Structure 1
Amino acid sequence: MRELPKELRLPSEMVPPSPPDPPVTPKDAATVMLVRDTEAGLEVFLQRRVTGMAFAGGMTVFPGGGVDRRDADTSVAWHGPTPAWWASRFSCDVGLARALVCAAVRETFEESGVLLAGPDETSVVADVRPYAEARAQLVNRELSLAGFLAEAGLVLRADLLRPWADWVTPEQEVRRFDAKFFLAQLPTGQRADGETTEAQDARWQRPSEALDDWKAGNSGLLPPTWTTLAELEECGTVAEAMARERVITKLMPRVTREDGVLRVVLPGDPRYDEAANHLDARGEDRLGR
């Protein structure tokens, strides 16, 4: 794993003066990197979250969100790797694995309009316009993914997803997620949009361009997003990215305060084991730095 750049810092509001003790239990979540091939190389779909949102307001992120209890519905018509396979990749139980894949498909559709489903196991929806009302109902929790797919006669295409990573929010933060990261190729005929109330801007970018924007101060990135973009930067094509065999290990960064700013350290960093579990109200860690 790449070392995080020293310029990468957390917004001060993400860590309260008195972090919760004991730490908040992370909520299960799914994040999806949508990718496509262009003449200039691989591009990934990114959204800038609305400023002022409770979590990661103003930051540039991939589509995704928390698991809904109905995502575990076993009646979902499913094609591709089984929930047991996903459970083995993400080191979780089968029920949660099923819910995570369903959440990945649902959140991708809600936040970008891209639907990873089709009439059967050999096809994918090319025109999602007939499902605009269902998309709104999913967002408002008036409809479950299982109910939508059954009514539309569609099959969830788990084979269009690849497992990528597992990131857990640091213990110091009030809103915490155990987010499983998935990779998916934009289906032929579909387009990703920014028609969600959670995003103020949406765009396709090459990973290197997105990192350059961050370096120039034009966007904010959290450590998982920066790291994933750096990893995708190494992939010349979608096929190369989708073919990567990844060993998924749970990564939980720790927060330190250095030179008056919040920085994140990852496992393997010499500072990781020394990082304080909490930051006190004076803004100093318990090692006195």
Structure 2
Amino acid sequence: MQKNYKKGIFSWFGYIMPFFERAYHIKKAGFDAISLWWEDEREIKRTEMPEVVREIGLDVDYVHFPYEHCNSIWHIEKNIFCKIIDRYSLWFEECIEKGINLIVLHVEDNPQISPNFAGIDNMRKIVEKAKEYNIKLAVENTRKNEYLDLILENIDDENLGFCHDASHDILTGKGSFTALKRWKSRLFCTHISDNCGKEDNHFVPFKGSIDWESFAADFPKEYKGMLTLEICASMEEIKTLKPEDYLKIARENLLKVEEKIINA
């Protein structure tokens, strides 16, 4: 079993400041890596972000694609699906040019259409397009895991895996890590955060009600990726904590999660 993990955090953690300043604070707090949302910000283009991250000595764990229009994966109409695969193809090309080969995708955004095998055919096309660029895709558990489950049940490909969101899993699994238990053998990356049991709060671990002992017990021992936080400071935290203090607490608590995983 791995004895330690690289530790990352999502580039947006709640404090409003330019991208470079957020990356600097993340580096100063002792994190190893950043995960990126693949969208331009006011002062920086998305394609410039990886270079900024690496120049200050951090790795890029993965890029998270925006999930607007992801429901079109499940549409039978070719013209609807073509729009999203064209968009993904452009982003695949951008990412591989920047040395990024792990992408997180949502496969549903509360769609009005049931999971279906037209969607599986569409998802196979997305996976094949990603493979052309030697990119691995991690589909995330969100609100309706029947879409995720149908994809992973029917597409067994080394380039298609799972991004586990701890907060989502507790909310949809009614207190149990249902998605992690089922798909941990295909785990590519993580979204670690805590919640109050009712909403996706994006709390720092141990600031909510999640049972991290249970998380550690279900976590795959063979996992070789990073432990990455997806957290967002509350208004109260922003008022009372400097960003460097918030990030220090976040990393310290991620170390506690790591310790539980190692000792489980």
Q: Which has the higher strand share?
A: 1
- TM above 0.5, yes or no, is no
Q: Which has the higher contact order (CA 8 A, sep 6+)?
A: 1
Which structure has the highest helix share of the two? 2
TM-score by length of structure 2 reads 0.27
